[in-house]
Amino acid sequence: MPDMLPFLRLTERAEKGTRAALYLSVGLGTGLVSLLILATLLVSVALVAVAGAGLIVLPVHLSLVRRWADAERRRTGSFLGRVIPPRHRPLPAGFGARLRATLLDTVTLREVAWLVWQAVAGVALGLIGMVALVGVPSTLLQTALWWMAPDGEPATLALRPVSDWPSALLLGAVQFTVLSALLLWGARPLARLHATVAAALLGRSRVDRLAERVETLSHTRAGALDAHAAELRRIERDLHDGTQARLVALAMRLGLARSRIDEDPEQAARLLAEAQSGAEEAMTELRQVIRTIYPPVLSDRGLVGAVEALAARSVVPATVSVDDLGAVPASVEATAYHLVAEALTNVAKHAEASRAEISLSRIGGWLRIAVTDDGRGGVEEGSGTGVGGMRRRVAALDGEFTVVSPAGGPTRVEALLPCGS
Ligand SMILES: Nc1ncnc2c1ncn2[C@@H]1O[C@H](COP(=O)(O)OP(=O)(O)OP(=O)(O)O)[C@@H](O)[C@H]1O
Ligand SMILES: [Mg+2]
């Protein structure tokens, strides 16, 4: 029905316009409250300057501003259809520290700027929104009931006094047209203007975002250093307790064999044979240690081949699904491999699952690895070293790691690792 289309567009426009006018009208109320808060804030700042008594009142006020701004973040966020996250860090304990943290927080300044914006623009635009919202129905009422106005105080339509039906209908039509246009075409841009400025003042500034990024990076860097140190200690332990111990025994046997070779060649030969098998064992152990550093299967068969090999060896039947992965850095490959290995070990050890599924895919600059099983769920991260180790490995590469494992299952372990492009 093509002729219905303009009508549908108009109703959609009216709906959006009403929503915008409603947003602006509520802004009138919040603008007035903001004005009040601003005035009392000025009083407490003045009190600090005059008597110092404001030092007690000011923090209370500022925390009120915080909560008020948070409410507006939710309201404006829901109007714009996005989340405006609260930007405050938790306040420290202690009166002095709390006061200092609040006063030095740049967020506080921006919130006060928002109070001014809300008190001025919120009230002005709120009045316009209110007119747009109630204007149309009240025009219809006024036009129909103009004759009820008391003598000497005639009803006004389109800013002119109304004296008879023709003028009521004509002026009513003019006012109706103007106010409908305001509702249909005017309210939305005004509401968006108001909301965008509020969101800019209440949202994260570039500096905030950078500061947060630096904070996360220094955390992950610390995590990376920890993980690196732990890995070095493990390798050192493995070499010390395994390979080195075997080489020591080997050297002793060789020494003994050398000293006995003339008197008791038979015993010397036995010692040499033992030494040879000891050397082979040491080699096997060394190979195992090397394997944990950079699994040779990765260089032989690539990540996909290596993961397929893990799946083939898995006790619980496992399937692998792979998209086109593109180029993956060696460190990411190693992390992905270790992650799948530990996840599959956990499935075999704890999950009581009948099957597992491994998926590798590329999402933009990220490699996504997910291991899912249909077992009993209920992963407890703190109770072993495996899951925590996976998390640290992933954090070391600045990736993201999630475990979803409700009691009763299923369990999904997922990591996103950056591949640099
Ligand atoms: N796929 C799974 N399904 C059900 N429970 C799991 C699964 N994976 C881990 N869990 C539970 O979470 C706990 C923590 O796992 P984690 O890998 O950290 O430790 P672990 O396997 O017990 O020991 P480690 O890995 O240090 O040898 C496990 O003890 C187990 O109870
Ligand atoms: Mg484990």
Q: At what angle do helices 123-144 and 5-50 cross, to 10 degrees?
A: 130
CATH assignment of 208-293, given 1.20.5, 3.90.550, 1.10.3470, 2.20.28? 1.20.5
Output the CA 345–ligand 2 centroid distance in Å: 6
Ligand 2 geometric centre to CA of 385 (Å): 7
Smallest-distance ligand from the CA of 356: 1
C-alpha 316 – ligand 1 centre gap (Å) = 15
Q: Which CATH architecture has domain 300-418?
A: 2-Layer Sandwich (3.30)
Run of H or E including 123:
helix 123-144
Q: Whose CA is nearest to atom 17 of ligand 1?
A: 386
Query: What does the pLDDT read at residue 222?
Result: 77
Q: Which atom of ligand 1 is nearest to the CA of 385?
A: 26
The token pair at 166 is: 């023709």
Q: Return the closest-CA partner of residue 413 out of 340, 351, 352.
A: 340
Domain with CATH 3.30.565.10 in the chain: 300-418
Q: How remote is the CA of residue 188 from the centroid of ligand 2, in Å?
A: 56
User: Atom 25 of ligand 1 has which residue's CA nearest to it?
Assistant: 386
| Residue-level pLDDT at 44 | 83
Separation of CA 1 and ligand 1 centre (Å) = 61
CA 267, CA 256: separation in Å to the nearest integer? 9
Q: Separation of 210 CA from ligand 2 center, angstroms? A: 36
Q: How far apart are the first and last CA of the chain?
A: 49
Protein residue closest via CA to atom 11 of ligand 1: 379
Q: Where does the chain hold its CATH 1.20.5 domain(s)? A: 208-293
Nearest CA to ligand 1 atom 19: 384
Ligand nearest to the CA of 412: 1
Task: Give the span between the Cα atoms of 57 and 44, in whole angstroms.
Answer: 6
Q: Whose CA is nearest to atom 13 of ligand 1?
A: 380
Q: Which residues pair with 358 in a beta bridge?
A: 320, 371
Determine the length of the chain.
421
From the CA of 344, the nearest ligand is 1
Mutate which of 373, 379, 412 for ligand 1 pocket (most atoms within 8 A of beta carbon): 379
- pTM for the complete prediction? 0.52
Say how many Å lie between the CA of residue 380 and the centre of ligand 1.
7
CB atoms within 10 A of CB 170: 15
**Residues 1, 409: Cα–Cα separation, whole Å:** 51
With b meaning 16 or more CB within 10 Å and e meaning fewer, what string describes 216-249? eeeebeebbeebeeebeeeeeebeeebbeebbee
Q: Take atom 27 of ligand 1 and give the residue whose Cα is closest.
A: 386
Strands in 45-87 per DSSP E:
none
- Compute, in angstroms, the gap from residue 274 CA to the centroid of ligand 2: 36
Pocket probe mutation, ligand 1, options 344, 350, 371, 402, max atoms within 8 Å of Cβ? 350
Nearest CA to ligand 1 atom 9: 379
pLDDT in tens, the chain (421 residues): 556 777 878 888 889 999 999 999 999 999 999 999 999 988 888 887 777 766 777 878 888 888 899 999 999 999 998 888 776 666 677 777 777 777 777 788 889 999 999 999 999 999 999 999 998 889 988 888 877 877 777 778 888 888 888 888 888 899 899 999 988 888 999 999 999 999 999 887 777 778 877 887 787 777 777 777 877 888 888 888 888 888 898 999 999 999 998 999 999 999 999 999 989 998 988 888 887 777 888 888 999 999 999 999 998 999 999 988 888 888 899 899 999 999 999 999 999 999 999 999 998 889 999 999 999 999 998 888 889 889 988 888 888 899 999 999 899 999 999 987 5
- The pLDDT score that the predictor gives to residue 83 is 82
Ligand 1 centroid distance, CA of 320 (Å) = 21
Residue nearest to atom 12 of ligand 1 (CA): 379
DSSP class of residue 421 equals -
Residues lining ligand 1, Cβ inside 6 A: 346-347, 349-351, 373, 375-380, 383-388, 411
Q: Which atom of ligand 1 is nearest to the CA of 349?
A: 21
